[in-house]
Amino acid sequence: MNYHLRNIFAILLGSAIMGFGINYFNIANRLAEGGITGITLLLKYTLDWDPGITNLVLNIPLLFVGWKMLGRQSAVYTIIGTVSVSVFLTLFSSFRHPMENDTLLAALYAGVTVGLGLGLVFRFGGTTGGVDILARLVNRYLGWSIGRTMFIFDIFVIALSLYYLNLDLAMYTLVALFVAARVIDFVQEGAYAAKAIMIISDHAVDISQRIMQEMGRGATLLKGRGGYTGLDKEVLYCVVSRNEIVRFKNLVHKVDPHAFIIINDVHEVFGEGFTLDEQKQPLQK
């Protein structure tokens, strides 16, 4: 029950941030938006329809698709997200902040707030309906990131929005969509971003001992074989936080200046040294 309550609270919070951002920055500055939300804004600008009501009505058919294809729990979270976004769009309708002299800044703020709101909703298992459902399906079956998928779909909606947008506002909207996509992926990937390092060296054992003693990080030794020499080698694998990279490279260089080092981004890390201490508790038998 606590798990579901936490998820529902996060979905409601994300929906509130999104609803606020669309009103405060998008609508106030005549910026478009992607997906179903973009269509609701198109109807707002051309027919003055309430975005909250329009968003809910347009999402009803997609909710049935979500119920059948995403499973019961995801479908329930999607209903919560869709309804709450529609409610917050109406509740925050009086919150507007026109920035006529700095539309670029308005686009950046719009991208950050909408991306943060959607990222929270996605991270805790929900969607806000519309293209969000399609993006989750593509993420599940094709492995594309949700932000990337939504950005592609959003391009089509922006093209449709050119009916009422001038070219400058269309370009600013694309900036907002790009920023939102990046923020969504950042929130999705987690706060424990780090670096994964692979080291090929004749002194891998010595390096691993120095890492554990001086940096307090774990290290794993893997068996490898040189493709050219055919000789067996120890390959060292380690994960460290971003602010430890310089110290790590200096340590390796002191032990073996000729070590071959590969550094990759790690978007999310779980376990000892990175996440909460309760994960260190032994399993009860």
- To the nearest 10°, report the CA torsion of 226, 231, 236, 242: -30
> In terms of domains, do 171 and 106 share one?
yes
> In terms of domains, do 182 and 146 share one?
yes
pLDDT confidence of residue 75 = 77
> In terms of domains, do 218 and 120 share one?
no
Residue 197: helix, strand or coil by DSSP?
Answer: strand
pLDDT confidence of residue 151 = 73
What average pLDDT is seen over the chain?
Answer: 82
**Final residue in a domain of this structure, among 150, 174, 189:** 189
CATH number of the domain that residue 241 is part of: 3.30.70.120
> In terms of domains, do 89 and 203 share one?
no
- State the pLDDT confidence band at 153, using cuts at 50, 70 and 90: confident
What is the C-alpha separation between 180 and 73, in angstroms, rounded?
26
- Specify the pairing of strand 194-200 against strand 232-241: antiparallel
Residue 70 lies in domain: 3-189
Nearest to 26 by CA among 123, 127, 158: 158
> In terms of domains, do 248 and 109 share one?
no
> In terms of domains, do 73 and 180 share one?
yes
pLDDT confidence of residue 278 = 45
> In terms of domains, do 94 and 136 share one?
yes
> In terms of domains, do 28 and 45 share one?
yes
> In terms of domains, do 239 and 163 share one?
no
- State the pLDDT confidence band at 275, using cuts at 50, 70 and 90: low
219 has a pLDDT exceeding 70: yes
**Final residue in a domain of this structure, among 189, 222, 245:** 189
Nearest to 224 by CA among 194, 248, 204: 204
Is residue 272 in a domain?
Answer: no
> In terms of domains, do 69 and 150 share one?
yes
Nearest to 252 by CA among 195, 176, 198: 198
Give CA 19 to chain center in angstroms.
18
pLDDT above 90 coverage of the chain, percent = 16
Residue found by looking up tokens 């609803």 in the block: 19
By the 10 Å C-beta count (0-12 exposed, 13-18 middle, 19+ buried), 242 is classed as exposed
What is the C-alpha separation between 70 and 64, in angstroms, rounded?
10
**Final residue in a domain of this structure, among 140, 159, 189:** 189
> In terms of domains, do 206 and 109 share one?
no
Choose the weakest-confidence range: 36-40, 73-77, 221-225, 267-271. 267-271
Is residue 71 in a domain?
Answer: yes
| pTM reported for the whole predicted model | 0.70
- Domains in the chain: how many in total? 2
Residue found by looking up tokens 């994300």 in the block: 14
Which residues contact residue 16 at a Cβ distance below 8 angstroms, ignoring those fewer than 6 apart?
Answer: 84, 88, 117
> In terms of domains, do 156 and 209 share one?
no
